[in-house]
Structure formats: C-alpha cells, structure tokens
Structure 1
Amino acid sequence: MNLDFIDMLDGYKAENDELLQKMEDALMQIQEEGMNDENINAVFRAAHTIKGSSGMFGIDYIVEFTHIAENLLDKIRNHKIPMSGEIIELLLACKDQMQILINFVMSDPEGHPDEDIKSDSKRLINELQAHLDGNDNLHVEETVEIVELIEINEYQIKIDFASDTFSHGFDTYTFINFLHELGEIKNIQTDTESIPIFTDINPSNCYMSYIIDVHSSKDSQELEAAFDFVKEGSTVSVIDLSESKQKPEPVKTIEKKREIQIEGSKAKNTPQAVKQTNFIRIEASKVDSLINLIGEMVISNASVMQHAANLRDSELIESVSTVTRMLEEVRENAMQIRMVPIGETFNKFKRIVHDTANKVGKKVDLIINGGDTELDKTVIEKIADPLVHLIRNSIDHGIETPDVREAFGKSITGVLHLNAYHDAGSIAIEIIDDGKGLDAEVLLRKGIEKGLIDEQSEPTQKEIFDLILQAGFSTAEKVSDISGRGVGMDVVKRNISDLHGGIEIESEKSKGTKVTIRLPLTLAIIDGFLTKVGNTHIIIPLDMLVECIELNKKTIAQMHNNSYINLRGRVLPLLNISTYFKIPHSDTARSNVIVIQYAGQRMGIIVDELLGELQTVIKPMGQLFNELKYFSGSTILGSGEVALIMDIQVMLQMMESKQKKELVA
C-alpha cells in the first residue's frame, strides 16, 4: 500500500467527516424550521462532494450509494419531490451509512464491506429508489397548463484550479460534470500553459485550467457557485456573452403547476449572508506540541527574570520584561488556536435528542444558548460523552410522555435547554429540562436502603440529589438500552472530576431538573497569583481572585477565635492554610486574606505572603500525589522551586462540609 495514498486518505476522512456533520446539521434544521433552499443545497453539496472525492480514490461502493442519495436530493432541491418527515429520517440514516462506509475505508483501504454493511446499503438504496420512482406524499390540487418564457444566456467560464486541489479530495472532472446539470456545455478548451515540463511535474499537484462555453437559463452567480468548494486558491470568472449579443428568442415550455403538501413544512427562503473565512487544517498534535513548547518557554523565561532581578541590572530587567510581554502575546494567541466554540459540540446533540426522543415516544425541543462560548478543544473532547449521557437521562428519566404532560397541563412537547457561559475563570454548562423533576423522598429512601445515608441523619436536599452520582444508584423500575442499569452517572462525575471540574444538581418536583457542570477553560497555561505559606509556594487561579486584604490585629480581635470575618457586612468563612495543612507558619510575615469566588460562593484563604501575578504552566501532580485532591497541579518557578496550584472548587466544598459539621456540633 502506497504511504502517500494512506496520508491522502487521512485528509479524505477529515474532509468527509466535516461534510457529513454539515449534512446532519442542515437536515436537523430542516426538521425544525422547514424547507429552505440554503439548507437543502448544503445537504446536496455535501453528498455531491463525498461522491466526487470517493470517485477520485476509486471507492466505488461509496460512489454507488451516494449517487442514489444525490439523485433524490437533486429532485427535492428542484421541487420535483416534496420533503417530508419520512424522507428526513431516511436521509439521516443514509448519512450514518456514509459514515460507516468511510470508516470502513480507513480500516481496510483495499478491502470490500462485509455482508452486513452491504445489506444495509442495499436496503437504503431500495428506499431511496422507491421515493425516486413514485412519491405517495405528492398531492395534486390542480393541473393547469401555463406558458413560461425561459431565457437562455451564453456564458464563458474561465477556471484556473489551485495547485492543492487534489490534496483536498477534489477532481476537476466532478465540477465540469456538475455544469451539465446547470446548462448545456458547448465547448471546452484546456489551457496547457501552466503545465511544467515533465521532469518538474509533481503528480499530487493540479495544473489544470479550462475555458468552458455554456448555454444556461441560470444566472452567472449560480454558475460560479458550482466551484464554491475550490474558490480558495483558484481563480474563477464567469462572463455573460449574451450582454454583447442580441438576445435569442425565448424558448417556450409547458409545465404543470402543482401545489405540494409537505409534512410539517414551514417555508423559510430568506437569504442569509455567508461569512467568508479562510481556514487551514492542521493536526491537533502539532498544536499540542506548540502549547507544550510555549509552556517550557514560560518556565525558562521565569528563570531568566529571576536572575535579572538578582543581578539588579536595570537594562537587563527592561529587556527581559519586553520579551515577557511578547511571550504573553504568543501564549495567548497559541491558546486561542486550541479554543473552539462549544456550539459545534452542542449542535451534534440535536441528532441525539431527535433519535432518543423518537425511541422513547416523546417530543422534545432542544434550545441552545451560549454556543459561541469558547473552551479548550481538549476539554471539549473529554466532556462530550458525559454530556451525551446527561442529555439522554433528561429525555428518558426527566421529560414525560405527551399524554402524561397533557394530563398535568403541560405542553405535550418537552423542552431541553443547553446553556454555556463563562463564570469566574471557568465555563459553566447547564442541562435544564422541564420534566417531572427528582423526588427527594424516593431518592432518600433508596439511599437508606443501599446504605449510602444513615437513617438517623438529616441530609440536605443537595446531598440527597447527589445520591444519583453514586456508583450503582438507580431508581429506574425497568432497564432500557438508554438508561436504568445503575451505571453512567458515577462515570460522568468521575470524568468531570478528572478535568478538575464539578457537577451540581438542582430540581423541583413536577417542574424539572437543572444539572450544572463547571470546568476549567484550559488544562495547559493559566494566569495565577503566587502566594507563600511558610516555605511553601501556592498559586491561586487569578480569574477566581476577588481581592486581597491584610489580616491585622484589629480584624483578628473581632474574629473571637472563629473561622470567619465580617467583610463589609458580609460573613466570609476563612481557611488558614498553615493550620489546615500543618505547614510551619512564618513568624516574620504578616498574614493576608485572599478572597476567592467560584460558582457564586466566596471564602477567604489565609496566607503569609503575596508575591504577585504569574503565568502558570500546569503540570500534572503524578500518580504518587493522586490523593492530594486539594491541588489541581503544580508548576516550576523561576527559582527552580515547585509551586502547588490550588483547586478552588474542592477547597470550597471542603469549607462547606466543615461549616456543616460545626453547626451539627
């Protein structure tokens, strides 16, 4: 097997995965909003491009399957077959089958699909062909003969393909062949001037240029759109030759006017502006490597800054400060490369909501807010599966069936909200449903039965709701393939904890449930605030720091040996790091309180010294320190010493538990 061919297949899969996701997004939008030209054309273009790129690689079984789907889509977009709910479901199934076929290509490039895959393809092809041969949903209200005047224009298209056209999975014939559907090709001339001598030819480059004469009833913009996929780097011009000639006699055609019933359709043909953005596709590992290198540069730069300060060389300190500012800009720009809008992940859940709701006989609308909120790609990849489980849980356990909702005076369609927003240096993701909510009494009873709660204790509502995050805990009366096996929610909690995040559950019986996940924006580099307790350096995430105050003698006297202070009329609980972690206190240092905030909660942390802001490269603690749960990582200072990065969420939870025990006592 040619290694270059394998490398090209990687690009083929990446490109087609993206096209298939666009196809699914467009189909889901049609399902929600009804037919419009923009979305059905997006579906058609995706199928057309996949067929073309598969043909270039000689993957005949994908070409054959996609060709039939493309034919149906062409009929739909030309309003010859009406879109319906049944067809949407069929096209979604075809999209899934295309993904299976593409995945098979990657696993066995020279092989052929097994009988199960072939059988599924054949079944779907038969269903597609049935819609092409005859459409039962077509309802003719009236048949009227009308005369339409079609104006045929003459165009000359000049196209110089970019040299990297082939590497993007395109072949020039596909685009020229597509012009046959837009008009009649009268003449094609090949421009050979850009083709180098034989010894200089790179077989992976495209050197093709064409001049094509076309007669068509379409306007020049529609003809130019046929080359949308290769516009970047290519040169396309469409000249209307008819403007300089006498207009030909219009051609008379007779058609039948039809009024078509489309199931659930809400026509939306308002044109939308398309944002033109240039992208470059690179491997994620290269970005990760860049971030790691910048992290090492940050550590090395801190060491240089330390030496410059020790030498007290003002010119050197100024030069190092300039480099530091530039390094901060490089770091911020590099981090932005890895930050992606979470909406791209949220949009994929539309299909999951659609399929899950259909499977359990429910109607559910998904509403997405904050899709433009950016998060580290690494974090998004690791949170996708937990979110899928939470969404399925909301539909299966939370939202009621239409008849039950109607009996309770609710809309028969349940609503699932997926929200994202930034909050104190973290990102909050909310999954909110308007279903039956959690029954605290049932949960408490189950918790006592399983020995998770002492029968004599008086747990808070939060503690009762948190029971569903325990391993093996389930209130489902029957097991389904969606949920109810007592596994999953504990895995969700563990995955979120591994990302140094947290999960909160709020619910009201008969009203609904809200699950909030809080995650760090990135796992690589953060802005921190360096402090010192005794000889131990501790870093506080800067985004969670509210203010710093001195703990003077007057304030200490007002505390009366309690672990809180009155901060401008508000009670602020305190945690003395030296006392709690048994770190020897520095007698010469003055105590300071760092006020931090996370998820609406505030607390004060008592430290000895405040050393200022610091770019912090997050290093994992290692397996030896896995039980050290109060710290999310470590970093290396310019002096070579190690500083611990405090996990604010865990510290707040610990403080809350400590306060509860004090109240009970």
Structure 2
Amino acid sequence: MTLDLSSAISTFLSESKELLQEMEDGLIELESELDEYHRGEVINAVFRAIHTIKGSAGIFGFDHVVSLTHIVETTLDALRLNQILLDKDLISAYLSSRDLVETLVELAVEEIEPDDSTKIQVNELIASLSNYINNENEEDRILKDQPADIGTVESNSKWHLFFVPNENVLRNGLDPFAFLYFLSNEVENLHIDTFVTSLEQTHTFDPESNYFSFHAVFDSDKSSEEIAEIFEFIQTEANISIIPPNSSYQDIFNALGQFPDSASAVSMLENSQSLPTNYIDSIKSGRSELETSDDSSPSDTNSQPKSNQQKIHQSKTLRVEALKLDRLIDQVGEMVITGARTNLLAHETGNETLIEAMSLLERLVENIRDSSLKLRMVQIGETFNKFKRVVRDIAQELGKEVELSIEGAETELDKTFVEKVSDPLMHIVRNAIDHGIESPDVRKQNGKDATGTLTLRAYHDSGSIVIEIKDDGQGLNKERILDRAIERGIITPEQTLADKEINLLIFEPGFSTAEAVTNISGRGVGMDVVKRNIESLRGSVEVESKQGLGSSISIRLPLTLSIIDGFMFSVHDANYVIPLDTVVECLELHEVVPEEDIQDKNYINLRTEVLPFIRLRSLFGISEKIDHSRESLVIVQFGTLRAGLVVDSLKGEFQTVVKPLGRLFEGLKCISGATILGSGNVAIILDVSALIKSAISVYESLEIKQ
C-alpha cells in the first residue's frame, strides 16, 4: 500500500510560500531602526519561519531544501545570541537564501533535480553564510558568549512552563493532559504542579469545564520554539508562557499573573519545592504587588515586553480553496436572480402576506450576498508589503536611496483584484524608481533630501477603491513626451492636448522616453499592459505630475466583480444598469434645459458648473423620436469626472449579478457586462467611466468647432 502525499505536499508548498514571505518582510524590517525588543522579536519570527520550513522539508525528504535552511537557521540562531553582527551584507545573503529556498521547494514538489547553476548558487550561499560562524567552536561560543541576565539566580538551571487552559478547552475537543504527556516524552526530569483553586466553589461545578492550570519544571536542550511547537494545536485555547533557564525571577513572577487566582498559585509554588529558595524569597517580596493586580485582566499583566517570555497567541483562521469561494459566490448570484423573479411573481398575485414574506426573504438574501462577498475580501497591505523587497533591490541596483511609505494597508479589496493588480503595480513602481526618483547627488543639487520617497496608498471613494503610487521625483517631462509621441506618429504636431492627455501618452503601446535600454525599463513595454489590465477589471488610470516635484498615478477599481448594487433605467424599451455608487442625482431633463435648446445642446449649467451630457438614444443609434418632456437626466461620477446620461425612464435600485459577455462583444466601448432580471430578460451593464469620457469628448470637440 502506497501513501498518497500529494495533498500534504500541496499544503507544504502553500505554507512555505507564506513563511518565506514572512521571512522577507521581517528581513526588510530589520533594515530600519528598531529598538532592542522589537529587533529580537523580528529575528525570532524569521528564525521560526525558516525552522518550520526545514522541519517540514525533512519530513518529505527534500534534502536540498534542508541543507540550505540548516545553515540559514544556524546563523540566525547565532544572531539571536548576539554572536554575530547584523549588517546589510548579511541581510542580502538571507534574502538571496529566501529566493533560493523558494526555488528549491518548487523543484522538490515537482520532483525535479536542481540544475548545476542552482546547485552552484546554493553552495556559494552556504559558504558565504558559513563565514559568519565558527562551526568547530559553535557550541563553546554559545555557552561562553551567552549574556548574563541581571537578577539571574545561579541555582536556576531549569526550564519553567506555565500552562493555563481556558474553561472551554474540553468542550472544544482538546485534552490538556495529552499535551503534557507529549511534553514528558520530549524533555527530562519533568515535574508538574497542578492548580485546581476554582474547585472551591463546588456548587458551580460543571464536568465539561476545565478547572486545571499547570506549572512544569524540566531539563531540555531544545529551543523555546521547539517546546512551543508541542503546544501548537492548543495555543488558541490556553495561555502559555515558556521561560528558559537563567531567567530572572521577575519573568516567573509576571507569568504567575496568568492564573485565575495568582496569590494562591504563589502559595502553592512555595510548598511544591519546584523553585529555588532564593526565587521564592524574591517572589514573596513582591506578592503584595501581585495580589493587588489580581483584578486586572491577563492582557494588562502581560502588556510589557518580556524578552525571555514567549506568549503564544494566534487568531483562528480556516484555509479554504479559492475555487470553493468562487462557486459559493456564483450560487449566491443565482439565488439573487431567483429571489428577484420570485418577488416579481409575489407582487403579481397581490397577496399582501406573501409580498411581506418575500420582502423579508429579499433582505436575508442581501445579507447573505454581503457576507459571501466579504469572504473574498483581503487587505491590500499584503500586496503592498511585497514591494518593500522590490524597492530595496531596484534602488540598490540603480544606486539610489528610496524609502517606501505605505498608507491604507487595511483597505479591503476583492481577492480577484489583488491577484490581477499586482503586475500593473510592479510596472508602475519600477518606472517610478527608474524614471521618477533622481540619484542622491541630483536630489541634493535640487535642494531635496538625498532619499526619495515612494508612497503606496489605498482608500475607498464613491464605491470604488483607489490605489495611488506617488513619488517625490522629477515628474514627467511633458516636452519630451510630446516630442517622442510626434516622433512615433501617436499624435500630429498640430494637435493641442491638455496636461492630463499628455500624461496619459505614457500608456501608449511602445512608448518610452528612456534614452537607453536597461534591466529595469526602456523598451516601451509594460505601461500599455498596465492600462489594458486595469480597464479589463472595469477600472481606470489617471496621472498627475508637476515637473521637479513628482508624479502620482491613481488606479480606480470597483469593489467587486461579481454582485453589485445597481441603478436601472430604460432606453427605447431596453433596460440598462449602472453601479448605484456612481449615481449622484436624477433630474427631469426639461426642468434643467430650456425647451428651445433641448434638442441641440449637449451640456447644461448645473449650479454654476458646466456639465456635459450624452443622449443614450444617439449613442445606441436609435433614430425614433421621443417626447423630450419624458426624458430624465442621470448625473454620474467616476473619480473626479462627472457627466450626465439622458435616458427615457428611471426604474430605480436593483441588485445586479454581473455576467460576462462573450467574445463577440469584446472591445465594445461603454458596455461592461450583462445581468438577468427577475422577469428573465437581459439588461446591459454600462461602463460609466467610458460614458463620461465619451460625453466630455463630444462636448470638447463641439467647443473647439465653435
């Protein structure tokens, strides 16, 4: 019988990528100025990531991965013990090892032997990292160089573990004694003190509740991380503190605060003889402080950083395949359509009870829709953090100093957008560093700080999410852009373009203002792909720039691709839908346009603002005339642009399930999809951004002619 490990290996691959990303984020953070405590925490996090990958790779027999991760883990351990110094060269070596580990993991999963080039890179990296440590005397150095702790009691050479399971741990299917039994097989000279102070209130005893807390003392040559792994599956159901040998009494004193009755725990420890006498005396002297703090919550007791104490806490998460989520969203969409159909039939019957029941069901379906869509929402900060490495590497390659600033990392975006927007952001960031931000010498000559700033910002605006990439570099050279555009035949010398139109020329296919081709840019590819990819997501791109001060590129995307709140209207007996968030207001056309001008004008003076509008009948080629007194004007806004749409009649709000159009409609302007109505008919979803641009274009062309 052969064991199928494909599922386990697939899980190993995805978890390894997450751990490697955590490692990269930590290494980039170490390049900034951190206090001693946070620096140690970041190093420990990087160590845990590579240690976990090494252990998992060993289980599957991925020897190449184990070999490289072992030397990385060894140097990180020496770094934690302050035996080696952390500098930029070592961080670069760790980042290179992170990339190589990812390559080796992917090859191992695919059962492909690394080629000679990869093996050479691995061997060179192992040799480079080995130079940082003295392997022959490594054990002696750890013992000799271990820094003494103030307040350390010489006779305390034991590990201490405080294990306080919560009351519902048994109900959740976890047995604390099983973890203690496993601990007994992993360590030596184990002694356990058990606390059951809560049983004094016998009238409230519940056989399914847990009343036990534990203090364990033992000998071990394992690390804190290895001991913590023993309690990995119960860490969300308990408070756990692991205190290594040679720690101060204060660490143990602080850990006692986790017990439900801290003062009683101190008394029981006095009688258990599990602590040296001088430790007990020290704890006794501080008991009054501990007793007065019993009323505070455990989080208050442990709020101060403790360098030698490991607090285990993670939020509960569930890994779900993206395909399952997509199927759920599709089914919810079908439920929305069916609900609309049923609601329509209920109104046709005229039965008030049925109509009321359907109204309640419709609200429930709407709540299910919103909850389902939130399942696929992720914070964009995860994507932004990946660019820390990109900015660092490109800046070093170009000899520039660039600081990345991230704002709005908590802004949530549909997972589909996150995956598809990553590549466009990569092109824009690379171009901003290469073309936008000047070298340190040039910046100093221009009176700027030698270090340039690149800002990634995300925020919600009018039912859309906006991603801004802003730099404080030299800005766009509009004269050079115009010259290159004329040279390539994109525009003619006679054309007069506004600043925004000139800026958008950088997205034309094959367009580049670079004087020479480099590894970063200069071939005229990339930015046109950016615009095409963003528009395929029903988004838009805007560019603002001031020469000498910097540039800002804004990407505007809808919040979701699947289900939206729509606003429906009709034109010539056909129904059309636009996103409700883009609608500003609705007006009767004859009330804002004089009757004598209603046929000829394509703009109105709305509260001192010139507002262009477009007749959808004309846009769709409908020649049949209509009574203009029946027409309505829907004012829509997308980003900073605003225009009006002249329609025949308004239908109101409508839950819209977006259905993609077939290949026959690809490239068709002003249309972004379709939806099925409750009646079974199809309504076209219009692209508001394209409609506004079309209205403005028509207005500007008429103005030029006049």
Tell me: CA distance 1:524–1:305, structure 2 relative to 1, closer, same or farther (3 Å). same
Larger RCO (CA under 8 A, 6+ residues apart):
1
For the Cα contact (< 8 Å) 1:500–1:520, is it kept in 2? yes
Partner SS state of residue 552, structure 1: helix
Q: Tell me, what secondary structure is at the counterpart of 1:33?
A: coil
2:49 is matched with 46
Q: Is the 8 A contact 2:72 2:97 kept in 1?
A: yes
TM alignment of 1:200-215, pairs within 5 A: 214-215=218-219
Corresponding residue for residue 127 of structure 1: 128
- Between the aligned partners of 1:589 and 1:330, the Cα distance in structure 2 is 41
Report the Cα distance in structure 2 between the residues aligned to 1:347 and 1:66, rounded to whole angstroms: 23
Aligned to 1:207: none
Which residue identity is paired with 2:271? S
- Asked whether the 8 Å contact 1:224–1:237 carries over to 2, the reply is no
Contact 2:336 2:657 in 1 (8 A): yes
CA distance 1:474–1:456, shift in 2 (3 Å): same
Secondary structure of the residue aligned to 2:459 is: strand
Distance verdict in 2 for CA 1:105–1:233, change over 3 Å: farther
Tell me the SS of whatever aligns to 2:672. strand
Taking a change above 3 Å as real, the CA distance of residues 482 and 176 of structure 1, as seen in their structure-2 partners, is farther
Task: Give the whole-Å Cα distance in 1 for the aligned partners of 2:313 and 2:606.
Answer: 50
Alpha-carbon displacement from aligned partner over 1:378-409 (angstroms, at most 9, x marks no partner): 01101100100100000011111111111111
Tell me the alpha carbon deviations over residues 607-661 of structure 1, each in whole angstroms, 9 at most, x when there is no partner: 1211111110111121111132101111010111111111111111112211221
Q: CA 1:96–1:553 in 2, change beyond 3 Å: closer, same or farther? A: closer
Q: What is the distance in 1 between the residues matched to 2:149 and 2:21?
A: 41
Distance 1:146 1:277 in 2: 32
Identify the match of residue 698 of structure 2 among 655, 658, 664: 658
Other-structure match for 2:24: 24
Deviation of residue 244 (structure 1)? 3.4
Residues 414 and 155 (structure 1 numbering): CA distance in 2 closer, same or farther, change over 3 Å? closer
Q: Which residue of 1 aligns with 2:618?
A: 579
Structure 2 residue matching 1:582: 3-state secondary structure: coil
| CA-CA distance at 1:568 after TM superposition | 2.8
Provide the rounded CA distance (Å) in 2 between the counterparts of 1:536 and 1:157: 70
What's the CA shift for 1:269? 7.5
Q: Which residue of 2 aligns with 1:315?
A: 353
Tell me the equivalent position of 1:256: none
Matches within 5 A, 1:361-380: 361-380=399-418
How many Å separate the matches in 1 of 2:699 and 2:594? 19
Q: 1:603 aligns with which of 639, 643, 657?
A: 643
- Per the alignment, do residues 146 and 483 of structure 1 end up closer, same or farther by CA in structure 2, a change over 3 Å counting? closer
Corresponding residue to 1:590 among 614, 626, 630:
630
Per the TM alignment, residue 154 of structure 1 is displaced from its structure 2 partner at its CA by 5.8
Q: Residues 498, 276 of structure 1: CA spacing in aligned structure 2 closer, same or farther, 3 A cutoff? A: same
**Partner-residue secondary structure (3-state), 1:540:** strand
Which residue pairs with 1:15 in the alignment? 15
**1:174-213 aligned within 5 A:** 185-187=188-190
Which one-letter code corresponds to 1:437 in the other structure? Answer: G
Rounded to whole Å, the distance in 2 between the matches of 1:335 and 1:607 is 31
Matches within 5 A, 1:44-83: 44-83=47-86
Cα distance change of structure 1 residues 237 and 347 upon mapping to structure 2, 3 Å threshold: closer
CA distance, structure 1, for counterparts of residue 146 and residue 48 of structure 2: 32
Query: Offset at 1:373?
Result: 0.9
Identity within the alignment, %: 42
Q: Which of 231, 234, 252 matches 1:231?
A: 234
1:95 and 2:83 correspond: no
How far is 1:430 from its partner?
0.8
- Structure 1 match to 2:116: 115
In structure 1, the residue matched to 2:534 is 496
Matches within 5 A, 1:468-547: 468-547=506-585
Aligned residue in 2 for 1:642: 682
> Which amino acid is 1:405 matched to?
R
After superposition, the C-alpha distances for 1:189-211 in whole angstroms (9 at most, x for unaligned) are 9xxxxxxxxxxxxxxxxxxxx99
d(CA) in 2 for partners of 1:547 and 1:145? Answer: 71
- The structure-2 alpha-carbon separation of the partners of 1:93 and 1:229, relative to structure 1 and needing over 3 Å to count, comes to farther
Q: Read off the aligned partner of 1:71 and give its amino acid letter.
A: T
Q: Partner residue of 1:4?
A: 4
The answer to whether the aligner puts 1:248 opposite 2:287 as a matched pair is no
**CA distance in structure 2 between the partners assigned to 1:55 and 1:61 by the alignment:** 10
Give the Å deviation of 1:144: 12
Letter in 1 for 2:65: I
Q: Does 1:563 align with 2:573?
A: no
* 1:558–1:598 CA distance, 2 compared to 1 (3 A): farther
Q: Structure 2 regions of 5+ residues with no counterpart? A: 171-178, 193-213, 242-255, 257-264, 280-303
For the Cα contact (< 8 Å) 2:378–2:414, is it kept in 1? yes
Query: Residue in 2 aligned with 1:629?
Result: 669
Are the aligned partners of 1:373 and 1:421 in contact in 2 as well (CA < 8 Å)?
Answer: yes
The equivalent of 1:197 in structure 2 is none
Query: Please, which moves more after superposition, 27-36 or 486-495?
Result: 27-36
TM-score relative to the length of structure 2? 0.79
Cross-structure match for 1:342:
380
Instruction: List aligned pairs for 1:415-494, cutoff 5 A.
Output: 415-494=453-532
What is the identity, as a one-letter code, of the residue corresponding to 2:129? L
Q: For residue 203 of structure 1, what is the aligned residue in structure 2?
A: none
The equivalent position to 1:550 in structure 2, one of 588, 597, 600, is 588
**Corresponding position of 2:437:** 399
Deviations 1:526-582 (A, max 9, x none): 000111112110112001111112223574338564222232333322222122222
Q: CA deviation at 1:275?
A: 7.5
Please report how far the alpha carbon of residue 431 of structure 1 lies from its aligned counterpart in structure 2 after TM superposition. Answer: 0.7
Checking the alignment, whether the CA contact within 8 Å between 1:22 and 1:46 is kept in structure 2 is: yes
Residue in structure 1 matching 2:108, options 93, 105, 108: 105
2:689 counterpart letter in structure 1: Q
More helix by share: 2
C-alpha contact 2:603 2:699 (8 A) present in aligned 1:
no
1:37, 1:269 within 8 Å by CA — same for their partners in 2? no
In the aligned structure 1, how far is the partner of 2:592 from the partner of 2:237?
A: 74
Give the counterpart letter for 2:28 in structure 1.
M
How far did residue 467 of structure 1 move? 1.5
Assess, with a 3 A threshold, how the Cα gap between structure 1 residues 634 and 3 changes in structure 2: closer, same or farther. Answer: farther
Equivalent residue, structure 1, for 2:205? none
Name the aligned partner's letter for residue 115 of structure 1.
Answer: D
How far apart are the structure 2 equivalents of 1:225 and 1:565? 70
CA distance in 1, matches of 2:555, 2:341: 37
- Contact 1:430 1:514 survives alignment (8 Å): yes
Which among 329, 338, 358 is matched to residue 396 of structure 2? 358
Shift in Å, 1:484: 0.4
Paired position in structure 2 for 1:86 = 89
Q: What is the total number of aligned residue pairs between the two structures?
A: 607
Which residue does 2:259 correspond to in 1?
Answer: none
With over 3 angstroms needed to count, the CA separation of the structure-2 counterparts of 1:155 and 1:647, relative to structure 1, is: same
Letter in 2 for 1:55: G
Change (3 A) 1:3 1:635: farther
Task: Measure the CA separation in 2 of the matches of 1:317 and 1:70.
Answer: 66
CA offset at residue 356 of structure 1?
A: 0.7
Question: 2:293 aligns to what?
Answer: none
Cα displacement (A) at 1:518 = 0.9
Aligned counterpart, 1:385: 423
The amino acid of 2:157's aligned partner reads: I
What is the CA-CA distance between 1:146 and the residue it aligns to?
10
CA contact (8 A) 2:436 2:550 kept: yes
What letter matches 2:114 in structure 1? P
The aligned residue for residue 207 of structure 2 is none
What is aligned with 2:339?
Answer: 301
Give the aligned partner of residue 152 of structure 1.
157
